[in-house]
């Protein structure tokens, strides 16, 4: 280990987030240049800065690259089955409403195999924060087409280009009833961290889509070098809070809108249940 | 150096100083910290870490302003900065 | 002792509830054993529907009934289905406006649905039938049946349902009385 | 009076008895999805749970229902779901997660005729092998099969107790007939009902290992929020719960998961013996078919035939030793079940060729009659 400052050449370096990660499992499995680590780091920073009781905070993941998030956080954490992070988290939250529940997973997990669970949790307004690392592909299995893969993008299962169109995730979240909806890229780390903190502190179903590069399995096939992707994030995005969710298609040929789009109040699932069903 | 935005009062505000620390063996050499350091003080080193990557090094350590951007963009928990007058705990 | 009772009708008549009241009266109030199995089609209303209630003073192993001791029919289809399973010992009870028996065997008849309509609530035909059934067969005791009716219907309808039950019970008493007279050689009206 | 326990005599269906048994066992979370003939369990739970501080949720499908009860289990609650064939198929994925992560919960399958949508309103006992092997991978599972309303109540409590004791999903395999059959169910005083809750860990939190086996081979289990910073994964994991992709860790984990069941068979396997002492023919049956068998057995005895019944109350792990012990001294086994031969195969395997094994089976949709069993007894005696 090397410190660049002679004054601080202490033998044991300690990253400010080391208390929140399982350091014995680091380095993690994410590839060089993968954005998941940055989103994960941002999420941990937000958890810390939000001031919530971390002992009562859990992270739930599904399957996939970002699904490994739960395995690195030094909190109660659950790495569930593919697509089922949200219903598992629903049981956790309803079983103990004191828990702060953060779902950290990927686009394939949350919106293809788990799409049905997402819309229903949003409809019920279950008090949880869902962070979706959207890398536009199935990274873990080697880069197959996802429900978020852009039209005509090349993947191992769409070698001549994706014939289908991707979901507009914030639109889907808004239409399903989410009370907080936002999108950032992993390059917009400060905004993302603030946004995750807001989402964690907000009661109700919060959804944050975070664009993150998959250089190994998406970028490579679509002639997009890691730094190219980040440059797109910098040059081809525009922050427009409260934008119409219908305008949020991701097309880097044009500009991609980032920001906080929905932030409204609605009774949560538990509040409604207590009010409606707990009548003796 | 490309700035995203330049504050109007950038000439007058007092700038903090920082020390950058790099945990070599966590680095996977993505280069994000190097590319996006607003002061461009970082560069790939010539040394190899355990996994065979070139971790960054601070070429101009005195120019670190402790903005923490390297720390928060790093996907690997491999780099961070602390205020210059603080000692590493 | 074992009594095997089948009640048949069509969905919506309250056949299942009638069976449950009989079974529950036996099991809970009369301190006997009782099992109830039902069969119904996918439709909630109008389909064929039957309930099989076994009452016994010892453990009931097999809850299904092939040869009933008592058959209560509130629909022709139900009667037709079980007609061949009747023995000379089977007590047959029918709603006389809805079921026409096909042979000359003895049976007990009550215009339960018509009575219910007269009382202003067609859906009480099942309760009238229970009253009649209890009066004729004494398969469960009068008190048990009446108390179980009272606790099985919506609280606001207890009074009218008990009236319906009494109506059936009274009709059974009148029926039995006229049968006794007939048996004794008098000429009377068989209901 | 404890409002969760409706002490007294009730004339209720098996499904209702199941719900009451769950509440008496301490279940406070139910995640479900409607399906005939199990719907009445969910309906009863939806009405009763909020009255006693519990939570009911109707999820979007059975996959979610199963996932939700695992989540609730880790929140510290005793949790349950109920379903029938098609839903049971969908739950298999997360039943596997429950087994792998050693998560206590109870899954009720009120069996109906299959395959596929089959006979929704008509009974069968044809999911017995699915109960054993329905999720992928090699694993041990506990499955119980009650025969009456009273036993559904009792066994639901037992199912919770076993799941808490052995930290594993327990399957309660009822069927449409007993699920919908009304019978007298006696619910005892709350303080006379024995309930078991998962042992909680003690000692230093930073040294805690989530899967380090305790005395009976089962590790104590904290809940989320207890401060243990647990990590729970369906990947192959070591004693800490950390994923380790190695042949050795796989073997260790499988050993742990298998041992805790295999080393406690006497505690888990429950059977009921009827007139086995002098029996030439042993009927082997469970659920509603055991009642058919009991009726047939008594009829056969009246006719002078020496017939006994081994009623399986625990289906999995299988009562292999019990069958084996009988095999050397009886003239034959007749398995009675509403399928075309599932437990029959286990009986045959366990008998090890020492006694002939016969089946009175049925494709499903109705019960087997005592006459059919009697006919087979006469045929083989």
Query: For residue A228, with 0-12 CB atoms within 10 Å meaning exposed, 13-18 middle and 19 or more buried, which class applies?
Result: middle
**Position C82 pLDDT exceeds 70:** yes
For residue A29, give the chain B residue with the closest CA: B76
- Cα(B21)–Cα(B40) distance, integer angstroms: 15
Q: Is A52 on the interface with D (CB under 8 A)?
A: no
Whether residues D369 and C37 touch (CB distance < 8 A) is answered with: no
Measured distance CA(D115)–CA(D125) in Å, rounded: 12
Distance from CA of A147 to the nearest CA of B (A): 25
Which residues numbered 210-249 in A keep a CB inside 8 Å of some CB on D? none
C191 exposure class (CB count in 10 Å sphere: 0-12, 13-18, 19+): middle
pLDDT at C43: 54
A56 contacts on D by Cβ (under 8 Å): 225
Chains B and C touch (3+ CB pairs under 8 A): no
pLDDT number for residue D354: 97
Going by C-alpha positions, the residue among D119, D68, D121, D75 that lies closest to residue D90 is D68
A183 and A258 Cβ atoms separated by less than 8 Å = yes
Q: Would you state the structure tokens that stand for residue D125, as one six-digit string?
A: 């006992």
Name the residue facing D121 among C37, C40, C60 (closest C-beta): C40
Structure tokens at D138: 């090699």
State the Cα–Cα distance between residues C152 and C27, nearest whole angstrom.
14
Contacts of A154 (CB under 8 A, 6+ apart): A160, A161, A162, A221, A222
Confidence bin at B3 (pLDDT 50/70/90): low
Query: Across residues D153-179, what is the average pLDDT?
Result: 98
Summarize the confidence of residues D343-371 as an average pLDDT: 97
Cα(A97)–Cα(A91) distance, rounded to whole angstroms?
10
Lowest-confidence region among A20-34, B41-55, C33-47: C33-47
More confident of the two residues D333 and B10: D333
Tell me the C-alpha to C-alpha distance, in Å, between residue A249 and each of A25, A40, A169: 37, 24, 8
More confident residue, B16 or D113: D113
> Is the CB of residue D300 less than 8 Å from the CB of residue D374?
yes
The CA-atom distances, in angstroms, between C139 and each of A85, C91, C96, C133 are 56, 11, 21, 8
Q: What is the pTM of this model?
A: 0.94
| pLDDT band per the 50, 70, 90 thresholds, residue D240 | very high
- Using left for φ > 0, alpha for ψ between -120 and 50, and beta otherwise, residue D241 falls in left
Closest D-chain CA to C19: D182
By C-alpha distance, the chain D residue nearest A96 is: D75
- Comparing alpha-carbon positions, the chain C residue that sits nearest to D10 is C28
By CB neighbour count within 10 A (0-12 exposed, 13-18 middle, 19+ buried), where does D141 fall? buried
Once rounded to an integer, what is the mean pLDDT over residues D256-267? 97
Q: Over pLDDT 90: what percentage of chain D?
A: 97
ipTM value for the complex: 0.93
Check if the beta carbon of residue A150 is closer than 8 Å to that of residue A136: yes
Helix (H) or strand (E) holding A270: helix A269-277
CB-based contact D224 A22, cutoff 8 Å = no
How confident is the model over D120-147, as a mean pLDDT?
97
Q: What is the pLDDT of residue A279?
A: 78
Instruction: Tell me if B58 sits within 8 A of B20, measured CB to CB.
Output: yes
**Sign of the dihedral through C-alpha C113, C115, C117, C119:** negative
Q: Compare C72 and A2 and report the one with higher pLDDT.
A: C72
**Do D333 and D282 touch, CB atoms closer than 8 A?**
yes
Q: State mean pLDDT over B3-10.
A: 73
Q: What are phi and psi of C48, to 5 degrees?
A: -65, 145
DSSP line for D229-272 = --EEESS-B-TTS-B--SHHHHHHHHHHHHHHHHTTHHHH--EE
What tens digit of pLDDT does each residue of A54-83 get? 999 999 999 999 999 999 999 999 999 999
Instruction: Tell me what the mean pLDDT of segment D149-175 comes to.
Output: 98
Interface-testing mutation among A5, A26, A228, with chain B (most B C-beta atoms within 10 A):
A5
Q: What is the mean pLDDT of chain D?
A: 97
Within 8 A of D64 by CB-CB distance, chain A residues are 84, 86-87, 90, 116-117, 120
Mutation site, C20, C29, C35, C41, interface D, largest D CB count within 10 A: C35
Nearest-CB residue to D184 (from C33, C38, C61): C33
DSSP D52: G
Return the pLDDT at A2. 47
Could you tell me how many residues make up chain B?
89
Q: Tokens 């992928």, residue? A: D136
Instruction: Express each pLDDT in D284-320 by its tens digit.
Output: 999 999 999 999 999 999 999 999 999 999 999 999 9
Confidence of residue D1 (pLDDT cuts 50, 70, 90): low
CA–CA separation, B34 and B12 (whole Å): 26
Could you give the residue ranges of the DSSP H alpha helices within C4-157?
15-24, 76-82, 112-118, 125-137, 142-152
Instruction: Give the closest of B28, B35, B69 to A227, CB-based.
Output: B35
A178 touches chain B (CB under 8 A): no
- Taking the CA atoms of chain D, what radius of gyration do you get in angstroms? 21
D74: nearest CA partner in chain A: A92
The answer, for D189 touching chain A at a CB cutoff of 8 Å, is: no
Kindly state the percentage of chain A with pLDDT values over 90.
95
What percent of chain A is helix, strand and coil (3-state, nearest 5)?
A: 40, 20, 40
Nearest C-alpha neighbor of C69 from the set C153, C121, C138, C165 = C138
A21/B58 Cβ within 8 A:
no
């Amino acid at each position: 280990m090397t410190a660049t400052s002679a004054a601080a050449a202490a033998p044991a370096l300690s990253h400010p987030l080391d208390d929140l990660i399982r350091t014995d499992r680091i380095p993690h499995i994410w590839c060089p240049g993968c954005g998941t680590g940055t989103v994960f780091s941002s999420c941990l920073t937000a958890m810390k800065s939000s001031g919530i009781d971390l002992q009562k905070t859990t992270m739930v993941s599904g399957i996939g690259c970002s699904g490994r998030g739960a395995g690195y956080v030094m909190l109660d954490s659950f790495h569930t089955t593919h697509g089922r992070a949200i219903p598992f988290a629903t049981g956790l939250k309803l079983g103990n409403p004191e828990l702060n529940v953060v779902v950290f997973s990927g686009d394939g997990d949350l919106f293809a195999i788990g799409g049905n669970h997402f819309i229903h949790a949003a409809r019920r307004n279950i008090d949880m924060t869902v962070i979706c690392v959207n890398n536009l592909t199935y990274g873990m299995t080697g880069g197959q087409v996802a429900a978020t893969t852009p039209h005509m993008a090349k993947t191992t299962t769409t070698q001549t280009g994706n014939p289908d169109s991707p979901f507009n995730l914030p639109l889907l979240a808004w239409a399903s009833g989410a009370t907080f909806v936002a999108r950032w890229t992993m390059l917009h780390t400060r905004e993302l961290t603030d946004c995750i903190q807001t989402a964690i502190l907000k009661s109700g179903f919060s959804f944050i889509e975070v664009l993150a590069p998959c250089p190994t399995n998406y970028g490579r096939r679509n002639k997009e070098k890691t730094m190219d992707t980040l440059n797109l994030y910098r040059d081809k995005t525009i922050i427009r809070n409260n934008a119409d969710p219908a305008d949020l298609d991701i097309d880097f040929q044009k500009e991609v809108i980032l920001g906080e789009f929905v932030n409204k109040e609605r009774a949560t699932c538990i509040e409604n249940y207590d009010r409606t069903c707990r009548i003796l | 150096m490309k700035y995203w935005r330049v504050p109007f009062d950038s000439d007058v505000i007092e700038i903090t100083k920082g020390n950058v620390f790099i945990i070599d063996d966590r680095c996977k050499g993505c280069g994000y910290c190097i590319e996006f350091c607003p002061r461009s003080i970082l560069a790939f080193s010539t040394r190899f870490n355990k996994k065979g990557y070139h971790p960054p090094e601070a070429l101009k350590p005195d120019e670190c302003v402790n903005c923490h951007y390297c720390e928060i963009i790093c996907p690997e928990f491999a780099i961070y900065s602390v205020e210059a007058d603080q000692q590493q705990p | 002792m074992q009594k095997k009772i089948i009640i048949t009708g069509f969905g919506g008549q309250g056949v299942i509830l009638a069976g449950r009241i009989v079974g529950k009266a036996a099991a809970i109030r009369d301190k006997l054993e009782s099992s109830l199995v039902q069969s119904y089609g996918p439709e909630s209303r109008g389909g064929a529907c039957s309930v099989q209630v076994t009452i016994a003073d010892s453990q009931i192993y097999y809850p299904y009934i092939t040869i009933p001791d008592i058959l209560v029919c509130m629909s022709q289809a139900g009667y037709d289905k079980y007609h061949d399973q009747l023995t000379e010992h089977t007590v047959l009870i029918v709603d006389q406006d809805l079921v026409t028996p096909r042979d000359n065997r003895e049976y007990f008849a009550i215009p339960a649905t018509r009575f219910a309509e007269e009382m202003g609530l067609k859906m009480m035909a099942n309760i009238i039938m229970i009253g009649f059934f209890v009066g004729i067969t004494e398969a469960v005791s009068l008190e048990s049946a009446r108390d179980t009716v009272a606790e099985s219907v919506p609280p606001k309808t207890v009074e009218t349902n008990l009236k319906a039950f009494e109506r059936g019970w009274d009709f059974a008493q009148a029926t039995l009385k006229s049968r006794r007279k007939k048996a004794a050689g008098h000429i009377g009206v068989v209901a | 009076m404890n409002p969760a326990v409706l002490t007294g005599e009730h004339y209720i269906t098996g499904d209702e008895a199941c719900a009451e048994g769950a509440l008496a066992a301490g279940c406070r979370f139910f995640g479900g999805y409607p399906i005939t003939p199990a719907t009445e369990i969910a309906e009863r739970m939806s009405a009763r749970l909020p009255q006693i501080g519990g939570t009911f949720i109707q999820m979007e499908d059975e996959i979610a229902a199963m996932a939700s009860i695992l989540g609730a289990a880790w929140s510290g609650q005793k949790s349950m779901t109920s379903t029938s064939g098609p839903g049971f198929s969908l739950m298999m994925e997360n039943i596997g997660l429950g087994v792998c992560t050693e998560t206590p919960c109870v899954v009720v399958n009120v069996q109906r005729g299959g395959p596929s949508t089959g006979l929704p309103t008509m009974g069968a006992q044809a999911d017995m092998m699915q109960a054993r092997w329905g999720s992928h991978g090699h694993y041990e599972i506990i499955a119980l099969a009650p025969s009456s309303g009273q036993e559904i109540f009792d066994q639901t409590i037992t199912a919770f107790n076993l799941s808490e004791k052995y930290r594993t999903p327990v399957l309660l395999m009822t069927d449409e007939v007993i699920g919908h059959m009304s019978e007298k169910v006696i619910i005892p005083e709350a303080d006379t009902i024995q309930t078991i809750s998962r042992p909680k860990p003690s000692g230093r939190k930073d040294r805690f290992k989530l899967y380090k086996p305790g005395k009976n081979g089962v590790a104590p289990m904290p809940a989320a929020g207890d401060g243990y910073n647990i990590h729970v994964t369906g990947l192959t994991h070591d004693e800490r719960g950390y994923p380790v992709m190695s042949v050795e860790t796989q073997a260790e984990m499988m050993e742990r998961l298998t041992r805790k069941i295999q080393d406690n068979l006497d505690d888990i396997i429950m059977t009921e013996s009827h007139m086995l002492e002098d029996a030439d023919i042993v009927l082997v049956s469970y659920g509603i078919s055991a009642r058919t068998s009991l009726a047939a057995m008594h009829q056969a005895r009246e006719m002078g035939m020496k017939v006994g019944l081994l009623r399986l109350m625990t289906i999995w792990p299988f009562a292999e030793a019990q069958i084996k012990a009988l095999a050397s001294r009886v003239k034959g086994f007749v398995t009675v079940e509403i399928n075309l031969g599932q437990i029959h195969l286990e009986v045959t395997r366990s008998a090890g060729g020492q006694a002939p094994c016969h089946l009175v089976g049925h494709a499903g949709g109705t019960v087997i009659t005592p006459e059919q069993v009697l006919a087979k007894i006469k045929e083989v005696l």
